[in-house]
Amino acid sequence: MSVLVGKKAPSFSAGAVVNGMEIVNDFSLDQYIGKNHVVFFFYPKDFTFVCPSELHAFQAKLEEFESKGVKVVACSTDTEESHWGWLNVDKNQGGIKGVKYPIVADTTKTISEAFGVLAGEYEYDVEGNMTASGPMIAYRGLFLIDKEGTVMHQVVNNFPLGRSVDEAMRMVDALQFFEENGEVCPANWSKGDEGMTASFDGVAEYLTKH
> Hey, which residues does 210 pair with through a beta bridge?
none
> Hey, which residues does 73 pair with through a beta bridge?
40
Backbone angles phi, psi at 200, to 5 degrees: -70, 155
Q: Which of 106, 109, 104 is closest to 121 using CA atoms?
A: 109
Distance CA 169, CA 179 (A): 15
Torsion, CA 40, CA 84, CA 106, CA 142, rounded to 10: 20
Starting from the edge strand earliest in sequence, which strands make up the sheet with 70-76, in order?
22-27, 14-18, 103-105, 70-76, 37-42, 140-145, 151-157
Q: Which of 144, 79, 88, 157 is closest to 117 using CA atoms?
A: 157
Task: Mark whether 185 is an active-site residue.
Answer: no
Beta strands in 56-129 (DSSP E): 70-76, 103-105, 118-124
Write down the catalytic residue from 4, 14, 51, 168.
51
Catalytic residues: 51
